[in-house]
């Protein structure tokens, strides 16, 4: 009976769940409830992914008003894939969060944490599924406001300034997007993405539409922390509670990457953006600078969380690089990396959070000799770290492989070389941590309080680690989904409406 | 001349937007930054409402004897956007209050210096 | 004529904005922002957007300004001299502004009925919504029915803001009436406030239920009702206000409003429609629309009232705390 409503449920469930969570008031109950809601959304997302792989696109008219008059949810392979990543990671993080936030967040704020988490999830799902340009802005703001709250819940005072900086940058980004959407509306009279695509295609080149696109791309670039607009991200991820960093690193910026893909490919059309406006060159250069600059900055950080945050900005560079190759193969590699990066960064931030849980510090000094004291956590860190580097048999290898192949397909030898060199820097920053963990003696060998992390933190962490290995060996599921998604996005924008 | 009549509205709005944007990125005081954000956003709202204006039209509320109405859609969008704006402002100001308590200052360069000491 | 008024108002806005840039006295900056907001509300009236003007005046000039003043009371009213150079921001702004001006060059002319924006989607709202939805106020029809999902999101944003402020500032503890607060010595003010508060509350109810026919609706009503309690708190002190509307109740109300809205949407599913489809709520589609819109507007009103008031409580409790110290 409810199958036809599935496109809207991953948004509505957490949106209803958030106020219920607030009413529950007890920390344990709110945790259980939020986890269940998130898990159920994950289940629905997987069903959606399988359905769209099979049938193509699903359209859902809110309020029964047919688009473009009403708002439409439009789920296709591409956003169903990202949606599964977001809801899946959210569920794992919530399982993990129970003990993690016990330590990091004041006890009477636990319900607020779960409420904000669900709101953030609802916002992210909404951004992904919506087929309406203004609706996207609304959900963007729900997720952003919830995120500012989540970051500021940490007890460190630097979390406050990080959250404020994030708020200012995020609002500037959202306002830029608002300006862009207004310019699009001005020339087309519609807000529905499909309708926009059809009407924008009627213009050859238009100064208002070009400017609108530029503002949307800049606004989204702030949200996805594209170099050089990334300066809000490292402090926010460093000082946020560990569970929040794990969730945001794997989802928030990735959702923004998807929004960029959506505006470029399904609204304006790759032809227009890349050939008329020459955006591919700009994105390519920024992506490569991001990879090198931020990987290099990551190698000199003493705070492991900051290091991972800079690594995230560098990894976003790889995704943008894939998109800017302007081939189906490149886009597919970029989408695949969204999926794989969520697996590895989720696991890494969880491991760092576990260390913080036991030692109370995220500084690299706390990692001395941890290989023996927290063997399971450090093993998880090691495997996920190898995945970031791109060692064979891990998920990270698969996306790098496809990225390099996509570059070589276009005879871009230099780009392929740069991708591989970027991995060398990853060896350095991951290697530093592994070195002190396995080859250095602990600062205080008599300290017996530092032991393995609790089971409830280890289980979600290891699920992600095993997923890293599984998707590194058996690539059929992730690759076929990403491949179908990129083929779907790469058809001419005007054809996207053919399947209704 | 018709060129100016057609566009003067948007040009002034662009100026207003940029005034707000300038305050956001140049102000050192956090409260002033938030004021700047609000001016930036309010100016974007004026742009949207200008899109929906129809010369000689009236407010989009059905009434006898009126045949030309302005476009209600931008109005709806901006109603939503105003609310989003004030929500962001409230959270931003709450953060400022806490920053003041934690650092004793709301001037950006001053708390940057204080963090450097840790 | 309308164009002339528009030009004058825009000119005044430009002057206000320029003044704000150079002022160092933050109290004056915030007051000028209130003026800026009022002037834009006037522009909205002049451009036929009465609902928007109503909201801008209540929210921008009202709530936002009150919150900013509350913040200033805690953080101080002087901006220190800027030590870093303003050259880079100026450059960024000039480049952005130039891009925007470039973008205006292909814009459709201001006020032309033939503009694409007024041609494609909008005509249906104007011509058919009075029959399809059955309300004379087209803005309410679009807001609460055609684009009801946006509005659900908007309600969630308000709820999220309340969560954010609550987590940052907390709520005042009930009935610590021991502290001297409010304006006890201003007799005139106290009497006038007592007279005016019931009127404001009645007006809020009017705005709540008259939104279908004229400008107004749940959002504006919620803000006005909250303003009545805020006025009460300002004049008679926070402890008394928290006895009238308890902070705990606000948490429940803020959640309930969102739930009422969402439940209306879910009800559509059970009657065989899509999420937020009101046509199926009654045997006659237009009657169904009417039920749906009244219920969700009520939900918006409740959440907005509770959220705005709890945000104010959050700031006010910080101020009391600062006063004690």
For residue A172, list chain B residues with Cβ-Cβ distance below 8 A: 21, 24, 37, 40
A187 touches chain B (CB under 8 A): no
Domain total in chain A: 1
Structural domain contains residue A10? no
pLDDT tens profile C256-308: 999 999 999 998 888 888 888 888 888 888 888 888 999 999 999 999 999 99
Q: Token digits for B89?
A: 């402002």
Structural domain contains residue C200? yes
pLDDT band of C87, cuts 50, 70, 90 = confident
Contact B37 A179 (CB under 8 A): no
DSSP C197-221: HHHHHHHHHHHHHHTTTSS--HHHH
Interface test with A, best of B84, B100, B108, B115 (most A CBs within 10 A): B84
The Cα–Cα gap between A22 and A110 comes to: 10
For residue A137, list chain B residues with Cβ-Cβ distance below 8 A: 81, 84
pLDDT tens profile A455-468: 888 999 999 999 99
Residue A498: predicted pLDDT: 41
For A178, the closest of B44, B98, B103 (CB atoms) is: B44
Domain edge (last residue) among C120, C149, C175? C120
Contact B71 C117 (CB under 8 A): yes
The answer to whether the beta carbons of residues C19 and C31 sit under 8 Å apart is no
- The alpha carbon of residue C189 is apart from the nearest alpha carbon of chain B, in Å, by 28
Helix axes A375-389, A328-359, angle to 10 degrees: 160
For residue C255, list chain A residues with Cβ-Cβ distance below 8 A: 19-20, 22-23
Structural domain contains residue C263? yes
- The alpha carbon of residue B95 is apart from the nearest alpha carbon of chain A, in Å, by 6
For residue C118, list chain B residues with Cβ-Cβ distance below 8 A: 52, 54, 71
Contact C117 B53 (CB under 8 A): no
pLDDT band of C165, cuts 50, 70, 90 = very high
Residue A1: predicted pLDDT: 57
How many contacts, defined by CB atoms under 8 Å, are there between A and B?
70
Full residue range of the structural domain in which residue C322 is found: 134-325
For residue A147, list chain B residues with Cβ-Cβ distance below 8 A: none
Strand ranges for A70-129 from DSSP E: 72-75
Residue A43: predicted pLDDT: 94
Structural domain contains residue C145? yes
Touching subunits of B (3+ CB pairs, under 8 Å) are A, C
Domain edge (last residue) among C85, C120, C155? C120
Residue A90: predicted pLDDT: 94
Structural domain contains residue A351? yes
- Reference B31, options A489, A43, C47, C68; nearest CA is C68
Q: Is A11 helix (H, G, I), strand (E, B) or coil?
A: helix
Domain edge (last residue) among C90, C120, C150? C120
Q: For residues C96 and C170, state if they share a domain.
A: no
Structural domain contains residue C126? no
Residue C130: predicted pLDDT: 85
Q: Taking 80 as the threshold, does the pLDDT of residue C178 lie above it?
A: no
C-chain residue closest to B82, CA distance: C56
B-chain residue closest to C55, CA distance: B79
Q: Token digits for B69?
A: 């109405």
The Cα–Cα gap between C166 and C307 comes to: 10
The answer to whether the beta carbons of residues C74 and B95 sit under 8 Å apart is no
For residue A44, list chain C residues with Cβ-Cβ distance below 8 A: none
C-chain residue closest to A126, CA distance: C153
Name C194's Cβ contacts closer than 8 Å, sequence gap at least 6: none
Structural domain contains residue A402? yes
Q: Token digits for C154?
A: 């908007």
A367-371, A483-487, B40-44, C174-178: the lowest-pLDDT one: C174-178
Residue A137: predicted pLDDT: 94
The torsion region of residue B19 among left (phi > 0), alpha (psi -120 to 50) and beta comes to: alpha
Residue A206: predicted pLDDT: 84
Residue A499: predicted pLDDT: 39
Interface test with A, best of B21, B73, B83, B95 (most A CBs within 10 A): B95
The answer to whether the beta carbons of residues A22 and A111 sit under 8 Å apart is yes
Domain total in chain C: 2
Q: For residues C293 and C158, state if they share a domain.
A: yes
Contact B80 C59 (CB under 8 A): no
Structural domain contains residue C185? yes
Structural domain contains residue C153? yes
Q: For residues C110 and C145, state if they share a domain.
A: no
Structural domain contains residue A284? no
Q: For residues C52 and C174, state if they share a domain.
A: no
The helix (H) or strand (E) run that includes residue A59 is strand A58-61
pLDDT tens profile C225-269: 999 999 888 888 888 888 888 888 999 999 999 999 999 999 888
Q: For residues C168 and C291, state if they share a domain.
A: yes
The answer to whether ipTM exceeds 0.90 is yes
The per-residue pLDDT of chain C, averaged, comes to 87
Contact B37 A161 (CB under 8 A): no
The answer to whether the beta carbons of residues A14 and A125 sit under 8 Å apart is yes
For residue A148, list chain B residues with Cβ-Cβ distance below 8 A: 91, 95
Name C296's Cβ contacts closer than 8 Å, sequence gap at least 6: C144, C148, C151, C152, C218, C260, C261, C264
List of domains in chain B: 2-53+70-117 (1.10.287.3510)
The Cα–Cα gap between A90 and A44 comes to: 14
Q: For residues C223 and C264, state if they share a domain.
A: yes
> Mean pLDDT, to the nearest integer, of C189-210?
89
Contact C157 B83 (CB under 8 A): yes
Q: For residues C138 and C71, state if they share a domain.
A: no
DSSP B61-94: B--TT---B--HHHHHHHHHHHHHHHHHHHHHHH
For residue B73, list chain A residues with Cβ-Cβ distance below 8 A: 191
Kindly give the parts of chain A with pLDDT less than 70: 1, 492-500
Q: For residues C272 and C228, state if they share a domain.
A: yes
For B94, the closest of C56, C112, C169 (CB atoms) is: C169
For A185, the closest of B51, B92, B99 (CB atoms) is: B51
Q: Is C78 helix (H, G, I), strand (E, B) or coil?
A: strand
Name A320's Cβ contacts closer than 8 Å, sequence gap at least 6: A224, A226, A257, A260, A283, A286, A287, A290, A334
Contact C106 A206 (CB under 8 A): yes
> Mean pLDDT, to the nearest integer, of B41-46?
94
Q: For residues C322 and C179, state if they share a domain.
A: yes
The answer to whether the beta carbons of residues A298 and A429 sit under 8 Å apart is yes
Full residue range of the structural domain in which residue A453 is found: 317-488
Q: Taking 70 as the threshold, does the pLDDT of residue C142 lie above it?
A: yes
Contact C86 B87 (CB under 8 A): no
Q: Name the CA dihedral angle for A10, A13, A14, A15, rounded to a multiple of 10 degrees.
A: 110
Q: For residues C271 and C319, state if they share a domain.
A: yes
B-chain residue closest to C150, CA distance: B80
Residue A500: predicted pLDDT: 34
Contact B109 C84 (CB under 8 A): yes
The alpha carbon of C57 is separated from its chain's Cα centroid by a whole number of angstroms, namely 8
Structural domain contains residue A358? yes
Q: For residues C54 and C102, state if they share a domain.
A: yes
Burial string for A182-205 (b: 16+ CB within 10 Å, else e) reads bbbbbbbbbbbbbbbbbbbbeeee
For residue B51, list chain C residues with Cβ-Cβ distance below 8 A: 115, 117
Structural domain contains residue C129? no
Structural domain contains residue A137? no
For residue C52, list chain B residues with Cβ-Cβ distance below 8 A: 45, 49, 75, 78-79, 82
Q: Taking 70 as the threshold, does the pLDDT of residue C182 lie above it?
A: no
Name C224's Cβ contacts closer than 8 Å, sequence gap at least 6: C58, C200, C203, C204, C207
Structural domain contains residue A9? no
Structural domain contains residue A342? yes
Name C52's Cβ contacts closer than 8 Å, sequence gap at least 6: B45, B49, B75, B78, B79, B82, C44
Q: Token digits for A215?
A: 């503002």
Q: For residues C276 and C319, state if they share a domain.
A: yes
A218 touches chain B (CB under 8 A): no
Contact A152 B95 (CB under 8 A): yes
């Amino acid at each position: 009976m409810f199958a036809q409503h599935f496109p809207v449920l991953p948004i509505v469930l957490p949106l209803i769940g958030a106020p219920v969570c607030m009413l529950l008031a007890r920390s344990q109950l709110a945790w259980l409830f939020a986890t269940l809601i998130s898990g159920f959304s994950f289940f629905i997302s997987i069903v959606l992914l399988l359905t769209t792989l099979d049938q193509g696109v699903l359209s859902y008219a809110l309020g029964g008003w047919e688009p473009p008059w009403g708002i439409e949810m439009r789920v296709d392979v591409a956003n169903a894939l990202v949606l599964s990543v977001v809801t899946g990671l959210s569920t794992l993080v919530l399982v993990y969060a129970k003990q993690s936030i016990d330590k990091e967040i004041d006890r009477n704020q636990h319900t607020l944490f779960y409420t904000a988490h669900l709101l953030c999830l609802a916002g992210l799902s909404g951004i992904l599924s919506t087929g309406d340009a203004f609706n996207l802005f609304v959900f963007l703001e729900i997720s952003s406001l919830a995120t500012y709250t989540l970051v500021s819940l940490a007890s460190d005072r630097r979390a406050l300034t990080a959250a404020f900086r994030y708020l200012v940058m995020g609002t500037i980004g959202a306002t830029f997007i608002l300006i862009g959407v207004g310019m699009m509306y001005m020339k087309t009279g519609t807000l529905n993405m499909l309708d926009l695509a059809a009407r924008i295609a009627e213009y050859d080149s238009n100064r208002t539409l070009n400017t609108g696109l530029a503002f949307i791309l800049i606004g989204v670039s702030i949200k996805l922390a594209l170099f050089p607009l990334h300066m809000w991200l490292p402090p926010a991820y460093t000082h946020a509670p560990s569970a929040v960093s794990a969730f945001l690193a794997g989802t928030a910026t990735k959702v923004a990457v998807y929004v960029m893909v959506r505006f470029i490919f399904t609204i304006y059309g790759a032809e227009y953006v890349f050939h008329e406006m020459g955006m591919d060159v700009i994105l390519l250069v920024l992506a490569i600078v991001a990879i090198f600059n931020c990987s290099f900055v990551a190698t000199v950080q003493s705070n492991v969380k900051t290091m991972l945050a800079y690594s995230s900005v560098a990894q976003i560079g790889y995704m943008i690089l894939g998109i800017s190759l302007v081939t189906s193969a490149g886009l597919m590699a970029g989408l695949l990396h969204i999926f794989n990066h969520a697996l590895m960064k989720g696991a890494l931030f969880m491991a760092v959070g576990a260390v913080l849980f036991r030692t109370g510090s995220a500084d690299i000094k706390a990692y001395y000799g941890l290989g023996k004291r927290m063997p399971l956590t450090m093993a998880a860190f090691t495997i996920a770290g190898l995945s970031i580097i791109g060692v064979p048999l891990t998920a990270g290898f698969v996306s790098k492989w496809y990225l390099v192949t996509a570059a070589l397909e276009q005879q871009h030898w230099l780009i392929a070389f740069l991708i591989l060199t970027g991995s060398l820097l990853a060896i350095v920053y991951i290697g530093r941590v592994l070195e002190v963990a396995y080859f250095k003696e602990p600062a205080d060998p008599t300290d017996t309080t530092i032991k393995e992390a609790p089971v409830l933190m280890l289980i979600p962490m290891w699920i992600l680690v095993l997923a890293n290995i599984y998707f590194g060996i058996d690539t059929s599921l992730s690759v076929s989904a990403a491949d179908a998604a990129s083929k779907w996005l790469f058809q001419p924008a005007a054809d996207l409406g053919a399947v209704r | 001349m018709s060129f100016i009549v057609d566009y003067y509205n948007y040009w002034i709005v662009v100026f207003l937007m940029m005034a707000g944007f300038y305050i956001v990125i140049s102000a050192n005081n956090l409260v002033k930054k938030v004021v700047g954000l609000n001016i930036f956003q309010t100016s974007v709202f004026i742009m949207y409402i200008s899109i929906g204006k129809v010369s000689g039209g009236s407010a989009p509320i059905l009434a006898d004897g009126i045949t030309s109405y302005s476009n209600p859609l931008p109005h709806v969008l901006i109603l939503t956007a105003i609310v989003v704006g004030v929500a962001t402002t409230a959270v931003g100001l709450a953060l400022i209050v806490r920053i003041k308590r934690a650092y004793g200052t709301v001037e950006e360069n001053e708390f940057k210096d204080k963090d450097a000491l840790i | 004529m309308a164009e002339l008024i528009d030009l004058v108002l825009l000119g005044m806005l430009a002057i206000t904005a320029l003044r704000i840039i150079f002022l160092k006295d933050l109290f004056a900056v915030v007051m000028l922002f209130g003026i800026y907001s009022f002037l834009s509300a006037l522009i909205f009236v002049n451009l036929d957007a009465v609902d928007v003007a109503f909201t801008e005046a209540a929210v921008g000039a009202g709530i936002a300004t009150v919150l900013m003043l509350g913040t200033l009371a805690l953080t101080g009213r002087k901006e220190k001299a800027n030590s870093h150079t303003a050259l880079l921001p100026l450059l960024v702004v000039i480049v952005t502004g130039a891009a925007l001006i470039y973008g205006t060059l292909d814009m459709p002319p201001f006020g032309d009925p033939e503009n694409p924006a007024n041609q494609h989607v909008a005509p249906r709202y104007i011509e058919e919504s009075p029959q399809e939805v059955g309300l004379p106020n087209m803005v309410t029809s679009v807001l609460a029915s055609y684009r009801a999902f946006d509005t659900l999101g908007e309600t969630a944003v308000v709820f999220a803001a309340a969560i954010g402020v609550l987590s940052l500032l907390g709520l005042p503890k009930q009935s610590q009436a021991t502290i001297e607060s409010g304006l006890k010595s201003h007799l005139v003010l106290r009497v006038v406030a007592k007279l005016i508060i019931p009127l404001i509350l009645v007006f809020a109810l009017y705005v709540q239920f008259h939104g279908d026919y004229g400008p107004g609706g749940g959002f504006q009503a919620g803000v006005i009702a909250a303003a009545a309690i805020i006025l009460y708190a300002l004049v008679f002190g926070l402890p008394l206000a928290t006895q009238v509307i308890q902070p705990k109740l606000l948490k429940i109300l803020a959640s309930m409003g969102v739930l009422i809205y969402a439940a209306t949407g879910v009800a559509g599913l059970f009657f065989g429609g899509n999420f937020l489809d009101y046509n199926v709520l009654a045997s006659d589609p237009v009657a169904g629309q009417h039920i749906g819109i009244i219920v969700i507007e009520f939900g918006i009103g409740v959440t907005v009232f509770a959220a705005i008031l709890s945000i104010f409580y959050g700031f006010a409790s910080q101020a009391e705390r600062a006063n004690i110290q």
